Structure 1
Amino acid sequence: MPETNNRENVPMQPQAGNPPACQPLTPRTVRARFLLLIVDPDTVGSKAVAAALQDRQIDVVCTDDPADAMLQAGALLPDAVLTAAQVPPMSGSAIARALHTHGCIPTLVGVGEHDGPEASLALALGATACVPRPYRVADILPILRSISPETAADFQAAIQVGALRLDPAAVEVRLRGRRIDLPLREFQLLHLLMLHAGRVVTRAQINQLVWSRDDEASNTLNVHIRRLRTRLGDDLRDPKIIISVRGLGYRLDTPDHQAGS
């Protein structure tokens, strides 16, 4: 009596090896900012990670409908797609295969505790990578950087310290909404001080990180601090934003939102 085949309804698993070849429909779109399409039935989680990524200068479009995702992908040609392992009625592996085969669009698949088999299938069918779900920006950003190295430097978050905002990607500083144009060294100096707002940054640290040297006796830092204070409207005799800490270095205090004199 022939052996009964108990696996008739089990989907065929792909053979190990290279994923199917991809055929891009059009040349890659050149954008000022990276565009990510998120496909996930958890709309709350999608919007949360989208907001965090937008702070990193990444444009994000979210949908919970796989059919809509396919239309969006065709119309927008995003730089990458992040899809959940299951987006009923489609699976993440099916979405990854379609995007890879018909558009060469890099696809990340979000996998949970029980999505191991789906993750393996997605990678075999052309997914670029799998990331843990719920999503974390720390897991997603390195993969997006590898997809688009030319925009990797743009994925830095803007910094807000009171009324002072610095955007590393746009190389832009605003104080109380007013744009302040800074030369590169002053921008780098302010960026460093804002990253350590409320804490003293020593002269040695500033010289090493901004000028890549250990010459603490140089007057260059003093000159740049004075110019930076002037551009920020700080009082040179009694500074309120960039504070000198005698014998140590400088501390950036939080500028208030009141209009300056």
Structure 2
Amino acid sequence: MRILLIEDNAELVLTLRQSLAALGIAAEACGDGHQADALLREHAFDIVVLDLALPGLSGLQLLRRLRERGDSVPVLVLTASGDTHDRVLGLNAGADDYLPKPFDLAELEARLRALYRRRLGAVHAVVQVGGLAFDTLSRRFSVSGRHIDLPPREHDLLESLMAHPGRPVSKLALAQRLCSADAVLSHDALEVYVHRLRRRLDGSGAAIHTLRGLGYVLEADDAPA
């Protein structure tokens, strides 16, 4: 799961990124509304966590722009504690959920995972590509009903591709998904993980194809490369 955290409180951002990273959730952060709008135009995220009080462009303005251009990415709005007005404005502008500040990390994680499952299509969705299946609740992969274990980074890589079956995911997005909060994964290292994963998927009915200039796409292995 790759999220964009749009929040201008640097201390809160640092705490959240570290805590989410420990849970296997990659979070990119941005504290300015205009910069966040540009990021959302150029990159795909699984979920957006949005504070309404932002410099440059307000959270509500950003949310309205996002929906006006047809982007359906789930948005979790952070609101001031007990502020019903902010919650109503956010939901009316296209937010999918809200969470009042201060909040508990366990509740934030639960809401993020619920939104992620909903994005994949069901409360308990199993995504299928060829003979490869991914249970979004248990986060387990299987091939023809047989569970397969993957090292953490290969698991995260395959989960990121499985979240967008048949659609290209950029190398930058995948590298950011696999890196820690304070480390960068090189494209060469990413290619090594892709190569290892391709070998593991051999015979699964699913394959990772390279799309020049676009990134990687996970498709049934009889799909054109």
Q: TM-score, normalised by structure 2?
A: 0.50
- CA deviations over 1:172-229 (Å, ceiling 9, x no partner): 59xxxxxxxxxxxxxxxxxxxxxxxxxxxxxxxxxxxxxxxxxxxxxxxxxxxxxxxx
- CA deviations over 1:36-92 (Å, ceiling 9, x no partner): 001111011012111111111111100111111111112221011111121123332
Quickly say closer, same or farther: Cα 1:56–1:154, change in 2 above 3 A.
farther
**Alignment partner of 1:54 is 2:14:** no
CA distance in 1, matches of 2:2, 2:8: 20
* CA shift for structure 1 position 114: 6.2
**Paired residue for 1:83?**
50
CA distance in 1, matches of 2:103, 2:45: 19
Within the candidate set 68, 74, 88, 2:41 is matched to 74
CA distance in 2, matches of 1:46, 1:110: 13
**Paired residue for 2:76?**
108
- CA deviations over 1:89-117 (Å, ceiling 9, x no partner): 33322222222332111111101136431
Quickly say closer, same or farther: Cα 1:89–1:48, change in 2 above 3 A.
same
Q: Which has the larger displacement, 101-110 or 59-68?
A: 101-110
**Paired residue for 2:171?**
none
Given that residues 45 and 134 in structure 1 are in contact (C-alpha distance below 8 angstroms), is that contact kept between their aligned partners in structure 2?
no
Given that residues 34 and 56 in structure 2 are in contact (C-alpha distance below 8 angstroms), is that contact kept between their aligned partners in structure 1?
no
Quickly say closer, same or farther: Cα 1:99–1:151, change in 2 above 3 A.
farther
Given that residues 49 and 77 in structure 2 are in contact (C-alpha distance below 8 angstroms), is that contact kept between their aligned partners in structure 1?
yes
Aligned to 2:64, what secondary structure does the other structure show? helix
CA distance in 1, matches of 2:66, 2:22: 26
CA distance in 1, matches of 2:94, 2:30: 21
Q: Which runs of 5+ in 1 are unaligned?
A: 1-33, 156-169, 174-261
**Paired residue for 1:98?**
65
**Paired residue for 1:146?**
114
Q: Report the number of matched residues.
A: 127
Given that residues 97 and 122 in structure 1 are in contact (C-alpha distance below 8 angstroms), is that contact kept between their aligned partners in structure 2?
no
Whose helix fraction is larger, Structure 1's or Structure 2's? 2
* CA shift for structure 1 position 152: 4.0
Given that residues 32 and 57 in structure 2 are in contact (C-alpha distance below 8 angstroms), is that contact kept between their aligned partners in structure 1?
no
**Paired residue for 2:8?**
41
Root-mean-square deviation (Å): 2.5
> Which structure is richer in relative contact order (CA contacts within 8 A, separation 6 or more)?
2
The 5 Å alignment of 1:117-136 reads 117-136=85-104
Aligned to 2:2, what secondary structure does the other structure show? strand
CA distance in 2, matches of 1:121, 1:94: 11
Opposite residue 101 of structure 2, the aligned amino acid is R
Opposite residue 138 of structure 2, the aligned amino acid is A
* CA shift for structure 1 position 148: 2.1
CA distance in 2, matches of 1:61, 1:129: 19
